[in-house]
Amino acid sequence: MKRGNVWKFGDDVDTDAIIPGRHLTINDPHELAKYAFEGIRPEFAQQVRSGDIIVAGRNFGCGSSREHAPLALKGAGISCIIAKSFARIFFRNAINIGLPVLECDEVDQIEAGDALKVDLEKSIIRNQTKDEKYSATPLPEFIRKIIEHGGLIGYTKKHIRKIT
* Interval 65-76: pLDDT, tens: 889 999 999 999
pTM, to two decimals? 0.94
DSSP-assigned beta bridge partners for residue 51 = none
d(C-alpha 114, C-alpha 40), whole Å? 20
pLDDT value of position 143: 96
Asked if 48 and 78 count as a contact pair (C-beta separation under 8 A), the reply is: yes
> What is the predicted pLDDT for the residue at 96?
96
pLDDT at 162: 59
- Would you state the pLDDT for residue 68? 95
Cα distance between residue 153 and residue 136, in whole Å: 26
Residue 65's pLDDT is what? 82
Q: Please identify every stretch of the chain with a pLDDT value under 70, giving residue numbers as ranges.
A: 161-164
User: Residue 105 has what pLDDT?
Assistant: 97
- Residue 7, pLDDT score: 98
